[in-house]
Structure 1
């Protein structure tokens, strides 16, 4: 199916970016007799048998099933057209074509909907973990190899595809983040599992800047600024500065304890980040201010969180008693909550709910019930529960909008 989406003038697009109506209805010309549908698809990975299932969120119809070598963690690719399925216990990475893409025609974009497919390209290596992307490339770090493999998303339809390998020198739980022609890669220390710094490499592979970051774990991007969670601080690298620069903001003395940022996500429209901070806390991070940490005390321990990155003013957290919390991701205020699952134990090894957000929907996996829960992001109402079978362990939503004539 192909439908057409008119491109709004830049000033209007920016003014609509912070408006809930922009997400609920899309951008369309009221002078024509058409609506503006939004395609939202959920890709759900089973925690036990490695199956990945695809669902249309509006119809609740299962539209694809893919068999992996091992249980997979799912990640968005460089565009809405690709899902990355990394298999840490299978030493492999597969790629799924979502069937959701946009064709740019200058004054408008066509929304193209096709059946999801398993793409031919694959990566293999020792224990793939962190997956990152920019607008065209995907980088996967293989912990047991101490190396990153980079692949162009446009080439994933080919089985024999060029892969660039960048070694960090020592096996460790590392990461690599492409940014245009640059690459941020973790710096290991002999005998240490977690990195001690991150280095930004230029187009020819030469180091441009290094940010010290003990026990580095977790990375995010907001505009040209990269952020990394460290034992005692958040480290930043501005890839657009000339030359690129690095700096750190130490954690505030309060709330104290052993808290550190381990997972961090960046906003598109604001220079801001949302991160976890201890088992029952979150933190809003402003990279421009040394004291730019707004701590959020959660009412229970966190199971998972997600930032609605574009524009980036709303975050979602699911806590151990089964509530989904809606956060203002700029102030940290809790805006609402809804019960979505039963209580989960926080004992190690338990498969717990995970969140993904796109197209005005929030989807929460409920492994114990074998279903996903679809929540309206604006009203906080549970829209539907979709039985997926098995034990859903991860989920990624993809979404795109267009005008149907």
Structure 2
């Protein structure tokens, strides 16, 4: 029996957590079904003629990783006369300019452009850098790779094949994997997070709703769409999520291609992780507030589901997580009393089991990811890594409100490389 407001808050918060995890479990299960389907697909995915593609690589102080990335793109299994590489060295203060100049000099027969911006023309964020690169491009399709990426040889070919065979696809996205996953506990958690929320959840959303969100790297988009919408929104620091909404509002869908993969470097310290994730959260709050009106517009179609999905993750889930944790701590300290320990424990346990099950399903789809070590990490990351997200959500929201209140301009939020 519910005797006080704390009982209602506790049960309500635990139910909200359980519900969000349940939704993600459905998505991951659907993603797994999609994985099984594509795994059995022996169809030859080859075009008679491949279109010209412009590959944009925005970079800001990326001297530690840019050489490896450009060489990986140079080695793509794609006709060298059919794609150009445009690196936007955006107001970098390191020796990126010298590194890129040497690469261009080493490959005089390849289509490589190096655009060096300064504090006047650049240094205003990834969106601005991409717009600069787009102005210099000539491809029918535009592909994007972050400066810390090493795409697999077939990555671009698979993306192009998918978009050429789907006229309603405004963009096609692939997978991204953690290349430094074995560094420490944090990177192992990030690796599992990527398999769960990106690989499997994206596949599930595509399988169920024909809905995906651009992840910021390893994707292609039609040039005609970028021209129609005027490029990337320079106020958006999660330009990938923001442009996804505008593509859907034009009547296109964003297709998921499980055959295309890139490997990227993830944060190796909590300080860098917090900075990166806070940027993601703050950017997604911007996108939600920019598009909230479409929640009440039937013509918005799948955009409404995406808005609800982001609201459930970035607001309901984290408010519920903070509320339940606070009540639990206060209860332990004897400051409040709750009388529904049995019900709350049951809901908590169900949420925990669903979470572990979902991550286990996601990890089983990639070779070497379902071993004993990862299973152990899954069992404890719910109490550690996932709790950090609640803190990040609060930090991101506060930072977003401050930006709006003080009318601060968007800056390039650089993720430190290792």
Structure with more strand by fraction: 1
TM range (shorter): under 0.3
TM-score (norm 1): 0.25
Please identify the structure whose Cα radius of gyration is greater: 2
